[in-house]
Amino acid sequence: MTNADKLVDMLKFDPSKSGSVAPDVFQDALKEITEERNAKIKEEVKAQLKEAMDIQASMAKADREYASTRKKQDKALGKLINRLQARLAGKSPDEIEESEKDEKKDD
pLDDT of residue 57: 97
Q: What was the pLDDT predicted at 68?
A: 97
Mean pLDDT of each 10-residue bin along the chain, 107 residues long: 84 71 76 94 97 97 97 95 91 85 75
pLDDT of residue 78: 93
pLDDT of residue 100: 81
Task: Report the pLDDT value the prediction gives residue 107, as an integer from 0 to 100.
Answer: 63
Closest among 103, 95, 96, 40 to 75, alpha carbons compared: 103
Q: What pLDDT does residue 28 have?
A: 85
Question: Long-range contacts for 95-103 (Cβ within 8 Å, ≥24 apart)?
Answer: none
Task: Name the nearest CA neighbour of 23 among 13, 35, 14, 33.
Answer: 13
